[in-house]
C-alpha cells in the first residue's frame, strides 16, 4: 500500500509532461495539397450539382481570387 502514492505521483508527473507537449502552438500551414485528375473531376461534378456551393463560391469570389477552385 505504501507504493501506491509514489506510483500515482510518478504517473502524474509523466502525464503533466505529456500534456505540456500538446500545449505548444501549432505550426501554420505553408503548403497546399495538389489534387489529382480524379479529384478535379469529382469536385467539378459536386460543384455543378450543388447550388449552395456555387452561391458560396460567388460570395467568396468578391474577396478571394480562385474561390471556385477551392
SS (H, E, C) 17-68: HHHHHHCCCCCCCCCCCCCCHHHHHHHHHHHHHCHHHHHHHHHHHCCCCCHH
The label of the residue with cell 505553408 reads 30
Q: Specify the DSSP element, H or E, that contains 1.
A: none
The pLDDT tens digits for 12-30 are: 887 777 666 666 666 777 7
Q: What is the DSSP letter of 2?
A: T
Question: Nearest to residue 68, comparing CAs of 33, 30, 31, 40?
Answer: 40
The structure's pTM equals 0.45
Choice between 44 and 13, residue whose per-residue pLDDT is larger:
44
Percent of the chain residues past pLDDT 70, beyond the cut: 80
Amino acid at each position: 500500500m505504501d507504493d501506491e502514492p509514489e506510483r500515482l505521483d510518478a504517473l502524474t508527473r509523466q502525464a503533466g509532461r505529456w500534456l505540456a507537449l500538446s500545449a505548444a502552438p501549432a505550426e501554420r500551414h505553408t503548403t497546399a495539397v495538389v489534387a489529382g485528375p480524379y479529384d478535379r473531376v469529382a469536385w467539378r461534378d459536386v460543384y455543378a450539382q450543388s447550388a449552395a456551393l456555387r452561391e458560396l463560391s460567388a460570395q467568396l469570389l468578391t474577396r478571394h481570387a480562385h474561390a471556385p477552385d477551392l
